[in-house]
Chain A
Amino acid sequence: MERAAEIELARQLLEGKPDAFDRFVEHFRAKIFNYSRIMCGHREDAEEVAQETLLKVFENFDQLREPERVRAWVFRIAKNACLIRRRKSIFAPRQELSLDELMPAKGADGDPTKIEIADWSAIPEDEALRSELRQVLEDAMANMPEIYRSVMLLRDVEELSTEETAQILDLNPDAVKTRLHRARLLARKTLDSYLRANRPAMEKN
């Protein structure tokens, strides 16, 4: 569902339009389930987070002053429900990962004008490959430190703004940008390794 349709649905829900309730439940239940499944790593938890979140959403829906912000508002509630259930992550870094660790390796022959990288140019045409990579991406997100995973899910998957993400996660916008960049670099690294290991024909040089 497009953002505009989602906002319209929030308006209809507030007006009490008959079929808005079930459409809203169906749409957001799948979204919250997916978010919390990747955040918490458990299907059962994710079902419960979705139910708890929707219950709070309906109880307090009249407090949503701007329907334009419905997605951010719902995810703020979902994030809190998720936090309560979170299994403490042993991977949570105490400080931000250094960018040096995320830079690609120099070419094997030591030539600094070359880096080890898969050939990403073939991706757009190949739908089978894209779908395969979306699964690899999900695994990459599930395995990255929570502080990066939470930002990437909101910014790049849910396409919320830096500002909205900052509000949901109680961070300042600069921290959101810093973490998003590291999250993307981590995901890129996993995807690149996958491409090089499984699509050797695509490798450059």
Chain B
Amino acid sequence: MASHQHDENCKKMFALLSEYLDLELPAGTCKEMEAHIAGCGPCAAFTESLHKTIELCREYRPQELPDPIARDARQKLLEAYQKMLAGRRS
């Protein structure tokens, strides 16, 4: 049965989990988290779920693409680009 202290550790872990997964925590805190996760099933499962959420974000690619750019829209951009280049050279 989990103790009150255990519950407090879970809460602390929960608050710091993103920084833990982003490797932004000081080494000491990071070690404490690792030790807690290793001994706490729910926190380990939760950490895995958050880690995979981040992975899904990183591999997320647009589900929709814009329509191909219209000729006059491209022309307008090209003119702005060429003007900028000319300004740089002069």
B71 at the interface (CB under 8 A from A): no
A192 at the interface (CB under 8 A from B): yes
Q: Classify chain A: how many residues form its interface, as a range.
A: 35 or more
Contact of A37 among B17, B50, B64, B81 (CB under 8 A): B64
A120-B48, A187-B53 given as contacts; is B42 within 8 A of A33 (CB)? no
A117 at the interface (CB under 8 A from B): yes
Contact of A99 among B15, B24, B74 (CB under 8 A): B15
Known: A21-B78, A192-B49. 5 other contacts (CB 8 A): A37-B64, A58-B84, A112-B2, A134-B59, A138-B63
The 6 closest A-B pairs by CB, nearest first: A156-B57, A34-B62, A181-B18, A58-B80, A33-B66, A58-B81
Contact of A25 among B56, B57, B69, B87 (CB under 8 A): B69
Give Cα A158–Cα B66 distance, bound, in whole angstroms: 18
- Interface hits, A21-58 → B, CB 8 Å: 21, 25, 29-31, 33-34, 37, 43, 46-47, 50-51, 54-55, 58
A25-B74, A25-B77, A188-B53 given as contacts; is B65 within 8 A of A117 (CB)? no
Contact: B57 with A157, CB < 8 Å? Answer: yes
Contact: B41 with A137, CB < 8 Å? Answer: no
Residues of B within 8 A of A (CB): 1-2, 7, 11, 14-15, 17-19, 24, 41-42, 45-46, 48-50, 52-54, 56-67, 69, 73-74, 76-78, 80-81, 83-85, 87-88
Contact: A33 with B63, CB < 8 Å? Answer: no
A115 at the interface (CB under 8 A from B): yes
Residues in A with CB closer than 8 Å to B73 are 51
Instruction: Provide the main secondary structure of the chain A interface.
Output: helix
Contact of B56 among A51, A54, A134 (CB under 8 A): A134
What are 7 of the A-B contact pairs (CB < 8 Å)?
A51-B73, A58-B80, A58-B81, A62-B84, A114-B42, A115-B45, A138-B63
Contact: B42 with A115, CB < 8 Å? Answer: yes
- Interface hits, A82-130 → B, CB 8 Å: 99, 103-104, 112-115, 117-118, 120-121, 123-124, 130
**1/0 contact trace for A136-179 toward B, CB 8 Å?**
01100000000000001000110100100000000000000100
